[in-house]
Amino acid sequence: MTLSLSRASLLTRAAALATSAAIAQASQQPAASIAHPALWPSVNAQPKRDPRIEKRIDALLKSMSVEDKVGQLIQVDIGSIKPADVVTYKIGSILNGGNSGPYDDEYASPAKWMSLADEFYDASMQRNDNGPKIPIIWGTDSVHGNNNIVGATLFPHNIGLGAARDRDLIRKIGEITALETAAAGLDWTFAPTLAVVQDDRWGRTYESYGEEPQIAADYAGAMIEGVQGKVGTKDFLSPTHLIATTKHFLGDGGTGGKDQGDTVVSEEILRDVHLGGYPAAIEAGTQSVMASFSSWNGEKMSGNKSLLTDVLKDRMHFDGFVVGDWNSHGQVAGCSNEDCPQAINAGLDMFMYSGPKWKDLYANTLREAKDGTISAARLDDAVRRILRVKFRAGTFDRGRPSARAAAGKFAVIGSAEHRAVARQAVRESLVLLKNEGVLPLKPNANILVAGPAAQSISQQAGGWSITWQGADVPNSAFPNAESIWQGISETVKAGGGAATYSADGSFTKKPDAAIVVFGEQPYAEFKGDRPTLEYNPGDTTDRNMLRKLKAAGVPVVAVFLSGRPLWVNAELNASDAFIAAFLPGSEGGGVADVLFARPDGGVNQDFRGKLSFSWPKRPDQYVLNRRDPNYDPLFAFGYGLSYAAPGKVGQLDETRPAGMADGVPGTFFGKGRLPTGWSIDAGKVAQANVDRRAQEDSKRFTWSQPGVVTITAPKPIDLSRESNGEISLVMDYRVGAKPTGPVTLGIRSGGKTVSVAIGKTLAAAAPGEWQTIAVPLQCFATRGANMAAIVVPFVLEGGAPLSLVISDIKLDYVSMPMGQCGD
């Protein structure tokens, strides 16, 4: 969509700019962050308001106290709230964050999810004061299936679906996701993501359908209809469907590859690129919109009235509710996680809160509603929007979650029918980047399958799979899934051939062909951000395996798992065929469907995927989009070979450019190494290299007197975003000699060391056994550390007797009790 600037529109723009300058001067908001609604499209929002529902809302609002109304504005993570709290505070919504499960069990059965949903619902309907009974709603991140629940069908992440270019498939995926989520008793999903990612270093690139807004526009309506049902039919928000969330409004894909960053673009680019699928989603009836963590030209979206209210609600006529992201309101200027009337006044209707102090947020918001800081009209508008969605979704009329039509039908979760659709999605999402005549493979051949990723369902599923980051989840947590190796093995066995799995690619009998499965380890936001697009810098394991097999005369087929385009020129050169498989989800068998021919030699399934993101020639091509000047990709947007339309890829340049930005590494010490330019100083503490997983991959530190071990970065690093996102400083260690005195773990910024005590934890550890200790970065931030300028991100201080072997020091998510900081 590009707006033509006629004389009239130019005059409108001039008037709007004058108005924004006046607003900026009055509010101290940057003028460049004030949107002008007249420049944005007017949308035919659906569904139209039902007078009967509006009448019910009017009556309900009259019967609600201010306390009742404020409760509706707050959503709390289930890790921080109990059903008994809802009886008292009448909270309007709960969510399970990426690592929150029912009864503190990340691997809880669907029955446990439904049981807890009943408990919260019952609590919301319990009144002893004759006040109105308003059912609570439960939101969850069902972003590629009901991905929080063991056994659910997991679809390819959005980057793969973007390559499929199949609206009907998208709609079906939405329907299945809704049904499998409703079966567990939940009401609402925080999906779809409509980010139009412009810098692929961002750790959420895989949540985007593509770099072009048109793909999001094509898919948005179909996914909303799949999740919610079609407006105007009995299917709309029926018991087999969910409330959908369109996110993250607005510009989340333009932050320069930094999560929670700042999208510094003109209003025209914000509209023409990043608005993407929002008009289509609103026309399809999306009932909630999530405000982005990010900023636009310096103003946090959760506090930007010109966009949340003036554009989204007034100009585009969205009449559902706006929910914040994970404590995103706390980043608005002048706010904290526990106090932010600015966000409500800007147009946020519901806080999303995680942490132990949600009662403080409730109390502060209540005070501000009573003293007029939040006007009665704004409070009623926010509550009206939330109630409107609850009425439309039938939550007032359908009773307990377990009593609803779709609830408790656990057989649909991971059903054969649903998995067949997911397998189809895998086939359609695969993009063939290179094929030098080796594909399709014969099913009666002798096939070697190599690489640990071939056996890892968590790696093929990616982030947001059972856990937030998705890493290190055992295959047993995916009981209905099939690994890529399993799919290949079954196909070859059925074809009369032989398939052998070897993690390191070794073999005794030379195979007819080798399929090497490798790629990125799972990640989500924060952890997934990276400084360049170089695949596995400093680690040549996968590349060497490919080269070794090719040198042995074995035809090599590379299946690459990734959540974004990456610089893999060396790996492409070492392969005869190369498939971008992205993050295919639970149905690894879909890969084999396309790689192998039929027994008669004909094509079984052809490749049909086309790149929705451009792939780089160099690892420093961070911004590489079709609409950019000097566009020069290795593989352009829309590229994709097939058996019907083959092509050749020549020898590629493997030279790594000098002077690339290094960014903040996720690992400060690992595999016996430090990041380039970093240093370790043990001072008076004796150190020696020792073995854990490999030769000299760890260090032993022995204190014979008081001493400090530090790891220093070459320049200050910014960990402020990570401290907002429940990331921890993590250390893997083994105790030799237990401490008898104090031991602290900390960080240093501006000459100030901020530490927490860990001596009791170390003293309680079993000697000789590997342990992990994690200190949330929030602990350092709340003690006064300047998280934006950390010079020494690791400070370990102790005294004799103490001996530790340390193998890994990194930033990571580790599930810990809320508020736990050291001993």
DSSP codes joined into one string, 230-269:
-TTSTTTT-TT--B-EEEEETTGGGSTT-TT-EE---HHH
- H-run or E-run covering 447: strand 446-450
> Contact at 8 Å (CB) between 59 and 290?
no
Residue type, 292: S
729, β-bridge pairs: 775, 811
CA–CA gap between residue 771 and residue 766 (Å, rounded): 9
Stretch (H or E) spanning 804: strand 802-812
Quote the tokens at residue 278: 């929002």
Find where tokens 């609803």 sit.
Answer: 404
DSSP code for 309: I
Q: How far apart are the first and last CA of the chain?
A: 56
DSSP E strands in 217-365: the ranges are 245-249, 262-263, 288-291, 295-296, 299-300, 321-323, 351-353
Contact indicator for 137, 395 with CB cutoff of 8 Å:
yes
Annotated catalytic residue, options 325, 529, 722, 808: 325
749-763 burial, b for 16+ CB within 10 Å, e for fewer?
beeebbbbebbebbe
Nearest to 154 by CA among 370, 399, 467, 378: 467
Asked if residues 599 and 458 have their Cβ atoms less than 8 Å apart, the reply is no
For residues 485-513, b (16+ Cβ closer than 10 Å) or e, as one string? bbbbbebbeebebbbbbbeebebeeebbb
- CA 125 vs. chain centroid, Å, equals 33
Could you list the beta-strand ranges (E) of 629-743. Answer: 667-669, 679-681, 686-690, 698-703, 707-712, 728-737
3-state secondary structure 100-132: CCHHHCCCCCHHHHHHHHHHHHHHHCCCCCCCC
Residues pairing with 567 in the sheet: 534
Measured CA to CA in angstroms, residue 295 lies from 256, 260, 273 at distances of 12, 7, 16
d(CA 75, CA 343): 14
Distances (CA, A) of 634 to 543, 571, 629, 817: 19, 14, 15, 46
Query: In 428-441, which positions are buried (b, 16+ CB within 10 angstroms) versus exposed (e)?
Result: bbbbbbbbeebbbb
| Cα–Cα distance measured from residue 820 to residue 415, given in angstroms and rounded to the nearest whole number | 40
Name the active-site residue from 85, 525, 529, 722: 525
Is 325 one of the catalytic residues?
A: yes
For residue 654, the surrounding DSSP H or E stretch is none
Residue in the block written with tokens 């946020």: 348
Judged by DSSP in three states, 711 sits in: strand
C-alpha 48/C-alpha 52 separation (Å) is: 12
Distance CA 309, CA 14 (A): 21
Burial zone of 616 (CB within 10 Å; 0-12 exposed, 13-18 middle, 19+ buried) = buried
CA distances from 397 to 120, 393, 400, 404, 676 (A): 16, 9, 9, 10, 61
Q: Would you call 600 a catalytic residue per the annotation?
A: no
**Is there a contact between 775 and 813 (Cβ–Cβ < 8 Å)?**
no
* List of residues 6+ apart from 796 with CB closer than 8 A: 701, 708, 709, 710, 731, 743, 744, 745
* Residues tagged active-site: 325, 525
